[in-house]
Structure 1
Amino acid sequence: MLRKNLLRHAIGLLLLAIMLGHAARLLQLPFIAPLERLIYDTRLRLTMPRTVDERIVILDIDEKSLAEIGRWPWSRNRMAALMDRLFDRYHIRLLGIDIVMAEPDESSGLKVLDRLERSELKGVTPYRSALARMRQGLDYDRLFQAALRDRPVILGYYLANGGIDSGALPPPQLTAAGLGGRRIDATSWSNFGGNLAPFQEAAAGGGYFNPIIDPDGILRRVPLLAEYKGAYYPSFSLAMVQALLGNARVAPSFGESADGSYEAVESLDLVRGRRTVRRIPVDENLAAWIPFRGFERSYRYFSVADVLAGRTPLERLENKIAILGTSAPGLRDQRATPVSEIFPGMEVHANLVSAMLDGAVKERPAYADALEMLMLLVPGALLIALLPRCPPLRAAGLVLALLAALAAVNVWAWQSANLVLPLASAMLLVLALYVFDVSYGYFVETRAKHQITRRFGQYVPPELVDEMSRNPGGYTMENRKANLSVLFSDVRGFTTISEGMAPEALAQLMNEYLTAMTLVIRRHRGTLDKYIGDAIVAFWGAPMDDSRHALNAVLTALEMQQAVAALNRSFAARGWPSIAIGIGINTGDMTVGNMGSSIRLAYTVMGDAVNLGARLESKTKEYGVGILVGEATRDAVEGIVFRELDRVQVKGKEQLVAIFEPLGQEGEVDDAALAELAQWQRMLACYRGRDWDGAERLLREMQAAHPNCRRHALYLERIAAFRASPPPADWNGVTRFDSK
């Protein structure tokens, strides 16, 4: 039995050794970190209290505020009035301003009045006296500065790498000299964008907004200290907590680093006098994990318009910690977080302030790496020894029990001790050993089929993958030259559509549109190349040979236009705007294969024929048609009725190319359309023969039946231009594309 399972034991031990090497930081497995982040997000969402923190409120510069008070930015006298209202009427405890005020306010006209005093009205004593009396009330920045002074207000600013410094910074919390030579791995910045110096000097403090964005684009942590020119400054949320705790100072607490090579910061202690009033655990970047309370609106929101007008009840704001920010479209600070892809930046700060006040910031302890190795060794050794001897059902039960135990211990540590313990590597090892053991023979026998699925499954329809798997040796992602057909489609006026829709509705509209279009491409055996925003690129003839690739591309385009019409009926029922798409198709020799960089590859097509397809799509609006195809596509297709639209010469190429509009399959185009097509062809003959009168007469007749047809108007414009400035003697009816 031992000899029979020797290979399985050896491979199991190899898997265990690899995972232990990762835990010991001797090697890095790139898939562990994304999985750990996924587990972290799932655990966070499942354990959120989903309660509202009544201590903290959001003062929202919302659409209502802009409608009542005026567009942003508001004049500083208005901001000064807001400060007075908040502290004198509502008696808030602390205000954090999640807005940078980096430019002087000249809206009062004081600058103009001063210039008049120096020029046209120089020496006019009554004017000078009146201006002196009014100056104090017209210096809005000074009014706002005075409104900040001696009040617990924290101003926000941002740090950057690149650009120029602006505004002023608050005093630093620490300096390199004050650390006594100890090493701090804080995020480092070379520039800042701060508030005007008088504002920062008058405020109680300030903090930066900058978070740490993980490689997947999600905000999970905020660095509580950051380095700028040898000094260390607090984050916005930390500065607020320091003020709430009596202007407590920051003192790093050091422990041994994970590899034992230096002393690493384990926590930031907030100290008042000689007493530590709060311990905040941080990671190697001096960043704190954000323990989100729940989804958006886990804090009470109050419109600034209601606050200024006194409509907000006093008890709703009295003694509250307030964060001033904006949710108005175009001004809103939005972040992708574990709880939502669109989350208000104001609430990120609020969640971290709540956690620091409650001592609820999650901590990855110094012994986490050692614990991870133990969590790998015990289950790994158990499974390597037992799985080869267990029948399938017993093996599945053993694995499920181990996974449940690992998850239970991890969640218990998370909730009871605020510990962030590693889990991905242990769960992945358990699953990997199980999958390897029960699938050993299957993976060996069907290796080639799975290879094809991994390579092409994201590009081609599943039914084509099944066909390819019957002969896996015949397909490769290596670059090769082939005669293919490529399709480009794009939504017209997408920018206008997106500006008029809420983000959630726009995302749903685009998801439905892209899904419908992709299904059409799949039905016609197309290979999906990529999405570029609202644009779609697909091609036919690779990786599977397709003698009908040009026809399939054209049939796809015709059905896509029909699918868009059906979608528009659905959109109209929901009050959404209708959409229109332009499609360009071209056929020719292209390079197809895996292309890109060492970081990311994509199975795609390149070449002049591809470029012409993209240009044809961009010209559909100019000709007023939904689909344009190149001459090579038309020549390769049978059974489709085409209308020739023009002869063109693309920029940088000498070859002339005819372009066509497909009208439908033969037998499906009605008699009226066929008659109009014959008349159009006679018009083209007159046009290319310089018979301007004959061409215009035919165009006028067609225009009477179709008054809004763009191609009729286009040719009438050309005829008018040629009458005024006749083409050269060697003109052959060609139109040049001057742009790519």
Structure 2
Amino acid sequence: MRGSIVGPAVTNPLQSAGRRFVQKFGVAFLWATFIGLGLGAAVYYRVDRRDFDGDPVWHALPRIWLESLELKTVDWRARALGADAERPDDVVLVNIDEETLNNARESERLDWAMRPWPRELLGSVVEQIIREGAIRVYVDGSFVDVSPRQLAVCKGETPKSDDVLFAQTLTRLGDAVVLPFEWRRDNRRPPDRPLMPFLLRVAEVPTRAEAWPLLRRVLMERTSAYLFEKGGRFEVWAGAVSDARRRELAASFELKGGLVTRGLTPDDDANEVLTDDLLRDLAAIEVKGLPQEEVIRAGSIDAPVAPLVLPELGLANSRLLRDPDGVVRSVPLVISSKVLLPTFALASREGPFTWENGVLKAPEGPPLPVDAQGFLTLRWNADEAGRTGRGTMKRAIPAWRLLVNREDDDSGRGVRHYDNNLTGRVVVLVDERGTQRFSTAVGDMTRGAIWAQAISNAMKGEGITRVAPETDFWVTLALAFTGAILAVAWSSLTRRPGWLAWVTTLALVLGVQALLARQLYVTQGRQVAMVAPVLACAGTFLASLGYARTLEKNIREFMLRTLGGAVRADVVRRVERDLALMQPERRELTVFFSDIEGFTAVSNEKEPRVVVEVLRHYLEEMTEIVLDRGGHVDKYLGDGLMAFWGAPVISPDDAESACEAALRMHHRFEERAKLWSEKTGRKLVLRAGMETGDAVVGEMGTAHRVNYTVMGEPVATAFRLEALAKKYGVRTLVGESLFEEAKDTYLFRSVDVVRLGRTGEPVHLYELLAPLESADRFAWALPHELAWTAWRERRFQDALNGFRDLQKQLPEDEVIALYVRRCEQALKTPPPENWDGIFDG
């Protein structure tokens, strides 16, 4: 105790809950800034669809992963939106489905039962759709290859291919029909074609537009076509592999007079015209304001066969692009292949088009939300795809009904079997068995069904708008700081919330964010980031809470290591809130020392197991009493115990609490004394000393060891009083300061006045007897005080008479016996005149 060192180097610098709160909040702020900025940057610099192609650069990988998670939440929101929507009837699907094929197999028309259908038959279905009032028909399929069916030619007839017959039907229908073309990202390998040594001039026209039909005719002849510009006029040439082929081409084009031919040179390759070039010229559109470099770029175009590349038709891309997880959530409105080309969805609107700030505008119709890459995020009109091939549309009609109605019209019956109600509708014609199926947010469906939804969205100006990157950034940063605030609040308001509370907190934040994101998506068609903000909140929350818990754990361990394990829970909580209570300071304390008389001999005589067992039980009993009365156990000194009251937590009745604890300890000891004496073989007596006074208390020690302890005059006095208790034969000896503090509550008797310590100042010693409410059991206490006062006033005979009377009542009381001897000695040998009745302690 005297060797204790006040050690500033080992004092924890965070001495208050307020300062700990500031530090936790500062660290949480740093975590929120770090995580929030990191994830915020990921949502600000969004993934480009081009990043999904090939091997992405390293910095795109976390953004791709984050985007993949975000897409899953988009599906959930899309289904919620679809659940509140009504299936539209402005676009109707006509499916070449199982019902159609089953009926066709049983019909008398063999061409109906063919697979695939002849394109001439497909054209008749398209024509019937227009007859029944549809305003436009999108034919979903592939027309890149020549039809496998060629018509048998009778004698005297001109041969016509299936493609030509299909083209004739489509020409009659004009721009009410939209045919698809495909594209691929890589450049198509040029075919190995026979050498064309001759070029035959087909015609010379004044404009490029007049040249395109001629070029198309050349291509339909299955030969190479060339276009040369000379003097503002345009010449169309056809390649020929032989002179016979040259004459055959001349006859086909009905060329009169002398044929103009020349040899093919390498420089002529630059002037060759392919079907792709025809398509680009016919289908090209302009979208002002749309950054063309951001648009998906096609490496090559797979155009329909030449007979179908007609200026009268609509030509549009029908290829869909999947997200990285294989799900279709958006469709491109344009692709870039030297020029901008439309897709099925954009073909439903009339240009010219203007794009600005994520909105595509046309002269007619509502504006359409389109991102900078030309994609429309679909607004699904159902929460699940229909099972009848209708997708998210209201209706899907079997193509069989159109075939039957066609027969009715051609036969002149004047009545149709089926009322398909196609007037004013847009129709998407789909061969269900020959088309590709895709996964979407609302289930699997055919490509045509997806385009039907896209066309419906485009006509009505519907779609999902993704909020500006700045909005996602600030939402993510805000959620990061929300996580920091929650973490600091949890760690400051609760001691040990547990993992379930953390999970509940994060789930609540996730639920609120998900609800807000869903509501914004459903009511306004706006997509705000959901995953990044939640990850930012969770990451900041866990990181900040981890730091706060580590800080609190270290502080708690430091506190318990300093205070010792014997500390009441309420004291721990108060000290945790304000570690300044542990700072070294001078304050009034009541110090207690106790010792078991006779236990030293027991430790020398008995087996260590017996010694330790009795000592453990004794210390447990005494410590429990000290803690129960608000005291702090400073240390164990073998069979001794040191405790004090008044620190780290101050109470107005610390002195009284110490007295009550001392009485309880003696009472408990006497209850256990018989058992312990039997185990040790010796009579055991508990002696204690107590005193109140100003002392230095706080965390003291070195870097190797630190304790919360006390040092000062009350400590030394209490220690000496405990030793004097054995001399006087009393249970608890207290000093004058403690007596003054507790005399109104407890009963004491005077024992002596002695000089203690180096100062030699006289100290009035008292024995603690009982609470005042139990004073009737100590009726002898008053006569004792009278006799003791007579002794101090040199009335030795009166004192002797009083003590002898008390000795008859308490023959074993050692204090009374001491004063009987002292009085007899004083009467026999009177003390000098300057006698003050003070003895050396």
Under a length normalisation based on structure 2, what TM-score does the superposition of the two structures give? 0.43
Under a length normalisation based on structure 1, what TM-score does the superposition of the two structures give? 0.49
Greater RCO, CA 8 A, separation 6+: 2
